[in-house]
Amino acid sequence: MSAPRFLTVETACAAAAEAAPWMAASTPADRAVLLEALADAIDAASADLVPIAGQESRLPEARLIGEVARTSGQLRLFAEVVREGSFLEVTVDHPRADLTPPRPDLRRCLAPLGPVAVFTASNFPFAFSTLGNDTASALAAGCPVVVKTHPGHPRLTEAVMAVADKALSAVGAPAGVLTAVGPALEVGVELIEDRRIGAVGFTGSARGGFALQQIAQNRAVPIPFYGELGSINPVFVTAAAAAERAGSIAAEYVASFTLGSGQFCTKPGLFVAPRSEGLRTALRSAVAAVTPAEMLNDTIRGAFVAGLGRLQEIDGVEVVHPGGVLDDAAVAPTLLAVPVSRLLEAEQLLEECFGPVSLVVEYEDEAALVDVARTVPGVLTATVIAQGGEPVLAPLIEVIRQRAGRVIWNGWPTGVAVTWAQHHGGPFPSTTNALHTSVGASAVRRFLRPVVWQGWPDELLPAAVQESNPWALPRRVDGVLETAST
């Protein structure tokens, strides 16, 4: 089988730069058609693409079929976002000479940043990859995309690109709207350094993300680097909840941290709960019932084994249920426990270990929930499992809202719905920019910047801010919000 063929960085970036004016000038309707064409194309090719993804990622067929549907759903969501139009934040202030100082004619809207580099993720070969969330939101913003192929699934990227090329050609898009470069590390560095790239979307490890962020910031002209870097996603369980429903809490928690063999950035890696033999017994039983599964590739499995070993060597850490790599290379989940006092002393216990392991932090005094929350670094999610009415909830909520991008009540963080309201991000170090999300409608905002047009004749203005509102966009005019039909 021949190796996949990708464009050079020079060729891809040149094509993207050539396509950028076309993308920026495209109407919302045309951009929505483009996104829907890609969604239809990947759905139609699912039966051909899923086996390739399975061979490269070791993920089961049912999971991959569902991921294709998520991918097309993301593309269709951004088609809705573009058609609705408020993402452009159009604002018009007509001139007023009676104000101090006098107000000229001012028209503000968001404009695309230009070509975007998207680094694909290992654990979602469809949904956070070639046509994944970063690509969909960048295209919705009007930015061409250069995809940096992940070394874990190069043949899949080549196959998806072939599907995408046909779909884009059918709607009249120039070739540079979406291109792909190879998986080598040096290719990624060269891509970020290319002067034509205006922003970067990245999902992956903290170590890799921080290194690439430095390259983006050290350019002669620095560019935004939007990195989603993983998280320990703490779960805080009150004593009342544990006493009332220990069995169901244990089962749901274990199902969440072992989902996908623990290879989700939203995996609950920290479970803060009262010391209880009943809860421990329920946890052991639930973990023992989980079927071992393979990890995405040997590199990720090796990193998991090393990380698990480091955790187990920390003083005070107890193995509640042993796991690790079995003889056939499948990985069984591991559950560890530590007293809350030890967690507050050992910062290394707060580091993410990507894979099927989680740490139970046991307390005697419920006030420790707030102490742990204050110790936790910035995270993607924080979950509260409670009955309601517990005195500890008010101070706990106050702390976790400062630490997390998504706070969850009596639910679990795995399973990130793709919606208008979703936020998949969080304070540093879970992401490189806490203001933005990589999932949900507002992900488009990452690849846009505001431009104000002052005093221009109407015929020279972009269509988005012309007086007649030819694109029928919602907008704020002289301080009053108008819908498209106003």
Q: Kindly list the catalytic residues.
A: 228, 265
- Structure-token pair, residue 134: 């970063």
Position 202, amino acid: F
Other beta carbons less than 10 A from residue 471's beta carbon = 19
> CA-based Rg of the chain, rounded to a whole angstrom?
24
- Structure-token pair, residue 238: 């009150």
- Structure-token pair, residue 419: 């919606």
CA angle 431, 433, 436 (to 5 degrees): 100
At residue 361, what are phi and psi to the nearest 5 degrees?
A: -110, 115
Per-residue three-class SS string for the chain: CCCCCCECHHHHHHHHHHHHHHHHHCCHHHHHHHHHHHHHHHHHCHHHHHHHHHHHHCCCHHHHHHHHHHHHHHHHHHHHHHHHCHHHCCEEECCECCCCCCECCEEEEEEECCCEEEECCCCCCCCCCCCCHHHHHHHHHCCCEEEECCCCCHHHHHHHHHHHHHHHHHCCCCHHHEEEECCCHHHHHHHHHCCCCCEEEEECCHHHHHHHHHHHHCCCCCCCEEEECCCCCEEEECHHHHHHHHHHHHHHHHHHHHHHHHCCCCCCCEEEEECCHHHHHHHHHHHHCCCCECCCCHHHHHHHHHHHHHHHCCCCCEEEECCEECCCCCEECEEEEEEHHHHCCCHHHHCCCCCCEEEEEEECCCCHHHHHHHHCCCEEEEEEECCCCCCCHHHHHHHHHHHEEEEEECCCCCCCCCCCCCCCCCCCCCECCCCCCCCCHHHHHHHEEEEEEECCCHHHCCHHHCCCCCCCCCEEECCEEECCCC
Q: 410 — alpha (psi -120 to 50), left (phi > 0) or beta?
A: left
